Amino acid sequence: MNSSRADAALSPPPGKKLRDYVETALPKIVLGPTLACALVFVYGFVLWTAWLSFTESRLLPRYDLVGFIQYVALFENDRWWIALKNLAIFGSLFIGICLVTGLLLAILLDQRIRAEGFLRAVYLYPMALSFIVTGTAWRWILNPGLGIEHLVRQLGFETFTFDWIVTPGMSIYTVVIAGAWQSSGFVMALFLAGLRGVDDSIIKAAQVDGAGPVRIYTRIIIPSLRPVFFSALIILAHIAIKSFDLVMALTGGGPGFSSDLPATFMYVFAFNRNQIGLGAASAMMMLLTVVAIIVPMMYAETRRQHRG
Amino acid sequence: MSSLTIRNIRKVFGAVEVLKDIALRIDAGEFLILVGPSGCGKSTLLNILAGLDTATSGEILIGDKVVNNLSPKDRDIAMVFQSYALYPNMTVRQNISFGLEMRRVPKQEQGEIVDRVAKILQMAHLLDRKPAQLSGGQRQRVAMGRAIARDPQLFLFDEPLSNLDAKLRVEMRTEIKLLHDRLKATIVYVTHDQIEAMTLGSKIAVMQGGEIRQFGSPQEIYDRPADLFVAGFIGSPSMNFIKAQAVEDAGGVGLQLQTADGPFVLPLREAGEALRPRMGKTLILGVRPEQISDSGTVLRTARYAYARKFRIELVEPTGPDTLLFVRINGETVCCRVRPEQACAAGESMELAFDLSKAVFFDPDSGKRIG
Amino acid sequence: MVEVQRTETAGARVIGRVMLYALLILFALYYLMPLFVMLTTSLKTLDDIRGGNLIALPEQVSFDAWIKAWSSACTGVNCGGLSGNFWNSVSFVLPAVAISTLIGALNGYVLTMWRFRGSDVFFTLLLIGCFIPFQVVLLPMAQTLGWLGIANSTTGLIFVHVVYGLAFTTLFFRNFYVSIPEELVKAARIDGAGFFRIFWRIILPLSPPILVVCVIWQFTQIWNDFLFGVVFSSGERQPITVALNNLVNTSTGVKEYNVDMAAAIIAGLPTLFVYVVAGKYFVRGLTAGSVKG
C-alpha cells in the first residue's frame, strides 16, 4: 500500500554520515559532563585532599609532601580523640535507637490501624526539617533554665535536674536524642515498606501451621526484612559519620569541645583555625571510616545475596 | 517489498561468539522464520537486521542495498516486539502515526494511512484509546498496525505472540498468515515455538548455538531434518530416537532392537540402502510418533511397514489421538494411534512402523545419514 | 467452654487494641512536641517565656517575634532579619534543583536505554560517590570556586549543589527508567526518532512520578543544607540555614528564644510545606534509593 509516500523523505539526506556519527555518540556526550564532574569533583578532590593531608598547609595550601606529620598531630590531639569517642557513642546509640524505634513503629502501624496515613506522616515529618532547625528546637527544649528541667520542677519535682546539654561528657547524648527524633521516622518508613512487601502467602502458610502473631513476626517477617535492616544500617551509619549540622546547631560542639564529632573537628580546624593540613587529614580519616564500615557491610551483604 | 540477503554475519561479545557465520537469502514476499531455543542467537540476529545492534563482521542487504552502516530509521523496516512496545502516553492513532510523523509524511496523508490500517485490522473503534485501555490481543493488533502503516521494505517480528494466551495466539497466528498473503510482505519472524514456525513460515532457519542448523521449507525441515537437534526441535511430540546396531537381514539391512518381550530385527528394506556401508555399526533411528501407529492404519497408507506386538507402558489421550509409550532398546518410544485403537497400559497391541519416512543419524556427528 | 474462651479472647483483643492505639498516640505526641513547643514559644513574649513553662500556651498571642525574625533580628553584624537569607536560599535552590534534575533525567535515560560498553562502570563510579563524606571535598572545592571566580556567589552554590546532587538524581531516574521496557526506545528508533526526540516525546511523558520524587528530594536536600552554605558563602549571601545557626549562636544581648523559634520555623516552613502537600512522594524518594539499590 501507499508506495507513493515519502520516497523523498527516505532517500538519505546529504551529510548523513556525520549526523549518524553524532547520533551514535550522543549518549556518551550526554554522560560526559557528569563523568567529568564525578572524576574531578569527587575522585580528583579526594586525591587532592589526600595530598593536602601530607603537607604542612596551614592558612594557604602548600604542595610539598612532608609525610605523615598531620596524621601524627591528629592522633596526638585530645580533641580528635574526643571526637572519635563521641562518634562511637553517638553512632552506636543513634543507629540502635533508630532501628529499634523504627521497627517498633512500623510493626505497630502494620496492625491495620485507623488513620495510619496521618500517624505515619506525624512520625516522618522531622525528616523534612533541616538538622539546623531540629538542633535549634531541641537546644531550646533541653536548656536547663527554661526547658524540660524547668517544666518538671514546676510540676513539683524541685530537685529534678536535666542539664546534659551544658554538661561536658553528657552533651553528646543530647545529640543522640535530637538525632533519633529526626531520623527514626525514616527508618520506620523503610521498615513499613519492607513489611508491606512480605509475601502474604508465607504469612498465611505460617498461620495454617499454627504460628501465633509474635512467632510470625520473630521467625518469619523480621528475618525476611534483612535487606531493609541492611539499607537502614548503611544510611544511618552514613548520617552518623557525616553528622555536622546537628551538633553545630544543638551544642556548637560544646560545652568546650566535649560534643565534637569528626565532622565539626574538620570544619573548625580547616576553616576557623587555618590548619588546612590537619583538616585534610581528619577528612581523610572520615573517608576511611566510611570505607572501613560500609565496604565490608556491602561486601558481606552482596556475598550473602549471591549465595542465597 | 524487498529480498533479504545475509552474508556471513558474525557477532562476538567479548569472548563469546553469539552468531557464527550466518548466511541465508530470501526472496521478496517470503516469510522467514528464525526458530530455536532461547539463547540461540535468533533475537540478536533480528536486532542486527533492524540496526539496533551491530554485527562484528558480515553484510546485510535489503534488496540490493547494503544496510550495515545505516541506522534503524534509514533501513526502511518495521518491527513488532514481544512486549508490543506501544508508546503508553500516546493514543492508538498517535502510536500508528508517530513513525509517519518522524518521516515527515504530510498530516492529511497520515490520517488516511491510519484509517486504512485501522480498517485492515478492524480496530477503527480503538483509535482514540490509550494502550493501557486495550486487551493483549488489541495491543498486538496495534503493534502490527504501526508496522503496516509504515509500508516498509521488510517486516521484523520478535516473538510477537509469546505474551498472548493460548487461544488468542492461535487466532493471531492465522491473522498474521492472512495478512502476509494480503500484503505480500517480506517478513522475518523470530519465535521459539516450532508450531508457529511450521504454520507461518515459507522458509525456516533452525538456529542453535549461534549457528543455522538447517535452512529450508517447513516440510523439508520436518521430513528431512539435517541433524538430531533439528529433528528433536521440530515436531511435537518430538521424534523418537532409537540407538541400534545395523545388522544383515535377508540380504538387506535391519536394526537390532530389543523389547521386554525379547530381541528382534527391524527390516529396513529400501530405507536401509544408505546404511549398507555401516553394517555392524551403531546408529540412531529417527521415527516420528505418527509413524508408529496401529497396524491397520499404517499398513493401509505406508509404502512399506513392519508390524509387531508391543507391550504398552503408558497411555496418554490427547483427544484427536492417543499417545502410547513402549520401551525399545531402553528408550521410551512414543507412538500415536487413533483413540479407538488404543489399548490400556500393561496390555499388548500390534503397532506398525511406517519406515518410508524414517531417518537415520550418525551417533557421533549427529548428522543425518543419506 | 468454647464460648467462654471466645469472649476472653475478644476482651483481650480489645485491651490489646487500646494499648496499641495508646502507644501510637504517645509516640505521635513525642514527635509533635518539638513542633508544638517551637510554635507556642514563637508566639510568646519574652516575659511570658520566663514566667511560664515549655508546654504552656501563650498568655497572649504575639507575632512580634516572627516580625523580628523576618526583618530585624541580628545575625552577627547584620540586623536585617532572615528575609534576605530566605530569598538567597530560594535563588540558588530553585536553579540547582532544576538543573540537577534535568541532567539526572538525561543520565538515567542513557544509563538504561542507550547503554554502551563502560556505562555500568560509570554508574558504579557515580554511586560510590554518594558515599563519600563531603568533608573530603570541601578544601579543594573552596579553592576551585575561587579560581572559577564564583566563590561566595549564588552561582557557586548552584554549581556545588548540582555537582554533588547528580549522583542521587541519576540514581532516581535510572532506577525508574529500568522498569520501562527498552523495546519502547527500539520501536521509536525504527520509527525514525532520534536520541532527544525519543527522550522528549516518549520517555519524559512517562516520567512525572519520578520527576516529582526527584524534585522534592533535591529541594529538601539543598534547602536544608548547612555544610556547603557555611563553607562556601559568607555574610549576606548565606543561605537561611546558616543564618539561622548564626542567629541562635549570637551570644550578644538577651537570648530571645521566641525569635529563635520563629526563625527556625521560617527556615523549616518551605520543606514542611512540601512535605504536607506531597508527603507521599517525599517518602517514596527516601525509600527509592535504599530499597531498590
- Mapped onto helix, strand or coil, the DSSP state of residue A8 is helix
Distance, in angstroms, between C71 CA and closest chain A CA? 19
- B85 CB near a chain C CB, below 8 Å? yes
C9, C25, C31: best to mutate for the A interface, most A CBs within 10 A: C31
Q: Which residues of chain C have pLDDT under 70?
A: 1-8, 76, 251-253, 286-293
| DSSP string over A128-197 | GS-HHHHHHHHHHHH-TTTSHHHHHHHTT-TT----GGGSTTTHHHHHHHHHHHHHHHHHHHHHHHHHHH
Helices A45-53, A276-307: crossing angle, 10 deg rounding: 130
Q: How far apart are CA C137 and CA C159, in angstroms?
A: 14
B328: pLDDT confidence band, cut at 50, 70 and 90? very high
Q: Give the gap in angstroms from C-alpha B309 to the nearest C-alpha of chain C.
A: 56
For residue B4, name the pLDDT band (cuts at 50, 70, 90): very high
Q: Are B22 and B58 in contact (CB under 8 A)?
A: yes
Q: Is the pLDDT of residue A12 over 70?
A: no
ipTM for the complex?
Answer: 0.88
Q: What phi and psi, each to the nearest 5 degrees, are found at residue A69?
A: -50, -50
The amino acid at A92: S
- Yes or no, beta carbons of B89 and C181 under 8 Å apart: no
| Each residue's pLDDT tens digit, A69-127 | 889 989 999 999 999 999 999 999 999 999 999 999 999 998 888 888 889 889 989 98
Nearest CA in chain B to A1: B151
Contacts of A23 in chain B (CB under 8 A): 71
**How is chain A split into domains, by residue range?**
13-53, 71-307
Subunit contact B105:A9, Cβ cutoff 8 A: yes
Asked if the Cβ–Cβ distance from B116 to A1 is below 8 Å, we say yes
The tally of CA atoms less than 13 A away on the side-chain side of residue B286 is: 28
Is B77's Cβ below 8 Å from some Cβ in A?
A: no
Common-topology check for domains B4-229 and B240-361: no
Helices assigned H by DSSP within chain C: 2-42, 46-51, 64-71, 83-113, 119-131, 135-148, 154-177, 183-191, 195-198, 208-224, 227-232, 240-249, 257-287
Q: Nearest CB to A287: which of C55, C132, C275?
A: C132
The answer as to CATH 1.10.3720.10 being correct for domain C83-292 is yes
| Top-level class of domain A71-307 | mainly alpha
Region of residue C14 (phi > 0: left; psi between -120 and 50: alpha; otherwise: beta): alpha
Domain with CATH 1.10.3720.10 in chain C: 83-292
Cell readout for B370 is 543419506
Q: C187 and B89 in contact by Cβ < 8 A?
A: no
Alpha-carbon distance of B168 to B269, in angstroms, equals 46
**pLDDT(B370) > 80:** no
Euclidean distance between CA atoms C141 and C153, whole angstroms: 13
Percent above pLDDT 90 for chain A: 37
Residues A77 and A241: their CA atoms lie apart, in Å, by 19
Q: What is the pLDDT of residue C288?
A: 61
Run of H or E residues at B175:
helix B166-183
Chains that touch A (3 or more CB pairs under 8 A): B, C
Nearest to A136 among C30, C35, C248 (CB): C248
Mean pLDDT of B281-293: 92
Query: For position C241, what pLDDT does the model report?
Result: 93
In this structure, which amino acid lies at residue B103? R
CATH number, domain B240-361: 2.40.50.140
For B113, the closest of A2, A20, A23 (CB atoms) is A2
Cell matching residue B180: 502476509
Q: For residue B80, what is the nearest residue in chain C, using CA coordinates?
A: C187
The domain spans of chain B are 4-229, 240-361
Query: Which residue is it, cell 555574610?
Result: C235
pLDDT tens-place string over residues A142-174:
988 888 888 888 888 888 888 888 888 889 999
Determine the distance from the C-alpha atom of residue A41 to the mean position of all C-alpha atoms in its chain, rounded to a whole number. 20
User: Is residue A261 predicted with pLDDT exceeding 60?
Assistant: yes
CB contact under 8 A, B151 and A9: no
pLDDT over 90 percentage in chain B: 63
What is the average pLDDT across B137-145?
Answer: 91
Query: What is the residue whose three cell numbers read 560500609?
Result: A294
Cβ–Cβ contact C77 with B under 8 A: no
Paired with B26 in beta bridges are B4
Please tell me the predicted confidence (pLDDT) of residue A306: 65
The pLDDT value given to residue C292: 39
In the predicted model, what is the mean pLDDT of chain A? 85
* pLDDT at res. A165: 84
Measure in Å the smallest separation between the Cα of B82 and chain C Cα atoms.
9
- Nearest alpha-carbon partner for B236 in B192, B271, B203: B192
Question: Mean pLDDT throughout B62-68?
Answer: 90
**Nearest 5 degrees, angle CA B163-CA B169-CA B170?**
170
**Three-state secondary structure call for residue C250:** coil
Q: Which of A52, A111, A139 sits opposite C139 (nearest CB)?
A: A52
Rounded CA separation C84/C89 (Å): 9
Of B110, B207, B202, B123, residue with least CA distance to B151: B110
> What average pLDDT does this structure show over B143-162?
91
Contacts of A182 in chain C (CB under 8 A): none
Q: Which residue of C has its CA nearest to A148?
A: C54
CATH architecture, domain defined by B4-229: 3-Layer(aba) Sandwich (3.40)
